[in-house]
Amino acid sequence: MELLRNHSLRPYNTLNVDATARYFARIRHVDQIGQALAAAPEAERILVLGGGSNVVFRSDFSGLVLKNEIRGIRIVRSDDAHVWIESRGGEEWQDLVDFSLEHDLGGLENLTRIPGSVGAAPVQNIGAYGVEIKDLLESVEAVDIRSGQVRTFSNSECRFGYRDSIFKHELKGLFFVTGIVIRLARQPEYHIEYGDIRKKLEEYGDQPLSPRLLERAISEIRAVKLPDPRELGNCGSFFKNCIVTPDDFERLRTSYPALPFFREHTGQIKIPSAWLIEQCGWKGWRSGDAAVYPQHALILVNYGAADGEQIYDLSERIIASVRDTFGLVLEREAQII
């Protein structure tokens, strides 16, 4: 384990903003967590970094960054109906999706092309097109950063919510996710009711629906709507969608009859934040190199030289605008550092 000092974080965040970590260590084995802490005893703040696809560095980081690079994906159990896969936290999320497809297993296809690491997935409870990781996850293995003890969290112990988990609240910053176990079906239940999925599948003619075909459809949809962070700095959906009560929804729909929505199983109503932002005139807005993506108002982008503070300021202006117009308060998906 090598401890780096004053190390640039630009290569490690998909928003491509420049920032420096006072201390930086690549963690490829659990034992290296303790080694890094011992090598930087004066570091008061610790940040576990995965793929860097959900962070905004407003300034330099004065503490220790632990870059999760623990690798490995394997099948650990199977029966006639399901297969259990263990993935280490430093794997790219897409590599886990591809592994499942190579074994003709269903469940992850709706979550394809989500940038980031496996270790960050349960922290954020990543989701797309009607599926969240909580629907598939059996357990999370994590290391208590300070004590070094390994703990296994069951699905229920993770306290998953919409883009939320216990790791963003009571246990925020306290654990390093070393791996997860997911359960996938040999005969999957497909989720094709969201967005343009059905329309895209119709373009393929009479091809039988399969995990690979659905993954292809969603990949093509995402390619049109979302910028590739390798080509244009971004951290995916910057804001969560708004969840409101039925009464609040009816109040809004009186003023905005075209208001789009999805009804949650809880009875609450989900309103696409992209629509709210677009109605406020932000879609395609740009100041310097900080901008709102012209093809999707939920994406904030860096055209090259924007810093984290400029991106953060833009998000603050959007939040204020939506609040003043609709009376709704947007929540960021992106983690502000």
Helix H or strand E segment including 34: helix 31-39
Distance, in Å, from the CA atom of 261 to the CA atom of 242, rounded to the nearest integer, reads 10
If you search the block for the tokens 């794997």, which residue do you land on? 91
Q: Tell me what pLDDT residue 168 has.
A: 95
Cβ atoms within 10 Å of 70's Cβ, excluding its own:
24
How do 175-185 and 137-144 pair as beta strands?
antiparallel
Residue 143 CA, distance from chain mean position: 21
Q: How many residues does the chain have?
A: 337
Per DSSP, the three-state class of 250 is helix
Let me know: does 48 contact 25? Beta carbons within 8 Å.
no
The two tokens of residue 65 are 């960054």
Whole-model pTM: value is 0.92
| Alpha helices, H only, 103-210 | 121-124, 197-202
Cβ atoms within 10 Å of 133's Cβ, excluding its own:
26
The two tokens of residue 196 are 């343009």
In the residue annotation, 154 being an active-site residue is answered as: no
In the residue annotation, 163 being an active-site residue is answered as: yes
Distance, in Å, from the CA atom of 108 to the CA atom of 185, rounded to the nearest integer, reads 10
Give strand pairing partners of 117. Answer: 92
Q: Tell me what pLDDT residue 11 has.
A: 96
DSSP symbol at 54: S
Per DSSP, the three-state class of 184 is strand
DSSP symbol at 172: T
Q: How many CA atoms lie within 13 A of 266 on its CB side?
A: 8
Which is catalytic among the residues 53, 100, 237, 273? 237
Task: Indicate left, alpha or beta for 230 from its phi (over 0: left) and psi (-120 to 50: alpha).
Answer: alpha
From start to end of the chain, where are the E strands?
Answer: 3-8, 20-27, 46-49, 55-56, 61-68, 73-78, 82-88, 127-128, 131-132, 137-144, 150-154, 175-185, 233-237, 242-244, 262-263, 269-271, 286-287, 290-292, 299-302, 335-336
The two tokens of residue 313 are 């300021």
Which is catalytic among the residues 163, 183, 216, 332? 163
Distance, in Å, from the CA atom of 219 to the CA atom of 11, rounded to the nearest integer, reads 24
Q: How many CA atoms lie within 13 A of 216 on its CB side?
A: 12
The two tokens of residue 74 are 């394997």
Domains of the chain: 3-68 (3.30.43.10), 73-185 (3.30.465.10), 233-336 (3.90.78.10)
Q: Tell me what pLDDT residue 258 has.
A: 92
In the residue annotation, 278 being an active-site residue is answered as: no
Give strand pairing partners of 8. Answer: 20
Mean pLDDT in each 10-residue stretch from start to end of the chain (337 residues)? Answer: 96 97 98 95 94 96 98 97 98 98 96 96 95 98 95 98 95 97 95 90 93 97 92 95 94 93 89 97 97 96 97 98 97 95
DSSP symbol at 84: E
